Amino acid sequence: MSAILPGATLGMLGSGQLGRMFAIEARRLGYRVHVFSPDSDTPAGEVANASWIAEYDDEDSLKEFANTVDVVSLEFENIDVQALHVLEQYVPVRPGPLTLHTAQHRAREKTALRNMGLATAPFHLVHSADELSRAQQELGEGILKTAAWGYDGKGQQRLSPQADAKSVWQNFGTDEAVFEGLVKFRCEFSVIGVRTEAGDMQLYGAVENAHANHILDVSLAPAPSVPESAVQRAQEMTRVVMEKLDTVGVLCIEFFLDEHDEPIINEIAPRPHNSGHLTIDAHYVCQFEQQVRAICGLPLGTTQQRQPAAMVNLLGDLWPVHGQPNWVAALSNPLVKLHLYGKQDARPGRKMGHLTALGDSVAAAETTAQSARQSLLER
């Protein structure tokens, strides 16, 4: 298929911060952007050329939307795959239904990864209290996760081997789940890949991640705790996943680094990822420009990093009851870059933006980023 050139209109399913950063890069490259989501007054809607406000199962609206764009991508995986099938009748959708169908459902995801011969945490598919009990007996302590519609720690419960399976299953409120045994790991990290329809691929280096309350808190690149041999193996695993799922666009894989410095896949996300936000400032070509290039069939950019970097998330917890965080204090260091997502309602746990800091070393960048975030609370 021929390249979709600047001047064309790109469609985005979803209108949150990932869609916003995609739209900013797309418009810089000379594209128009239309976003589709059930919400109004959205982060992506603020910078897009047009917003379509409708439910993802509204086939008439999807058809109308498809007829206004030249290609469609997505910013999150909690969309019924049927929406992609509807859109594909009229316009290319990248990544396609296979990638979304696999990534949005933990049972399908884990099974697919196992069938690819890739290392994951030990797991059992669970459909009843009896199956949960057997999984506990075999795996011991673990985490029960809903099969679908989970992110940022939602739909998860850590269970001891003694937890009453019948009671837990009754309260969990699902008929399908995954029980994962715990993995002893040194750190968590991610690798982001980008792939075109022709199969051209670029892979970013590893980003080390730390979480707080199941939400990404800090990302560091290059990952200071991950040996280069493990980075290379994780990149190769990412390559296998993207090729097997025929992914066109950006895909992130979250890894554990085990006690033997081996990467173990935790989960995949078929889109740009929070841990890759630092690529906007730290890399020659960021993950969002790569998403534009990949879905449009343009040559991919380099994934080379300019300088060591750290990113810290800004959650609604930082906002005072009245007023704004101390932006002046946070930006007093010229190596700090601020990214806000245009969300007006600051709630605890809600991602409102991020700070990225550059430095001569990862440690220096992290110190700068953490200090800048802390200074937001100064009065």
The pLDDT assigned to 19 comes to 98
The CATH number of the domain holding residue 177 is: 3.30.1490.20
The CATH number of the domain holding residue 54 is: 3.40.50.20
**Residue 257 shares a structural domain with residue 304:** yes
The CATH number of the domain holding residue 329 is: 3.30.470.20
Per the listing, tokens 């859109």 go with: 87
**Residue 164 shares a structural domain with residue 256:** no
* Of the residues 132, 153, 181, the one at which a domain ends: 181
101 in any annotated domain? no
**Residue 363 shares a structural domain with residue 251:** yes
pTM for the complete prediction?
A: 0.94
318 in any annotated domain? yes
280 in any annotated domain? yes
134 in any annotated domain? yes
The pLDDT assigned to 174 comes to 83
Apex 307 CA angle, 306 and 313, nearest 5:
110
Domain around 52: 9-93
Structure tokens at 157: 């419960």
Domain total of the chain: 3
The pLDDT assigned to 231 comes to 98
The pLDDT assigned to 147 comes to 82
251 in any annotated domain? yes
**Residue 177 shares a structural domain with residue 189:** no
**Residue 342 shares a structural domain with residue 268:** yes
**Residue 199 shares a structural domain with residue 165:** no
| Pairing state between β 215-221 and 309-315 | antiparallel
3-state SS assignment for residue 52: strand
**Residue 57 shares a structural domain with residue 202:** no
- Where the chain has pLDDT below 50, the residues are none
79 in any annotated domain? yes
Written as one string, the DSSP assignment of 80-126 is -HHHHHHHHTTS-BSS-HHHHHHHTBHHHHHHHHHHTT--B--EEEE
The pLDDT assigned to 252 comes to 98
**Residue 50 shares a structural domain with residue 142:** no
3-state SS assignment for residue 217: strand
**Residue 215 shares a structural domain with residue 340:** yes
**Residue 263 shares a structural domain with residue 339:** yes
The pLDDT assigned to 150 comes to 58
**Residue 174 shares a structural domain with residue 58:** no
Distances in Å between the Cα of 185 and the Cα atoms of 43, 189, 239, 265, 337 are 36, 11, 23, 12, 31
**Residue 279 shares a structural domain with residue 368:** yes
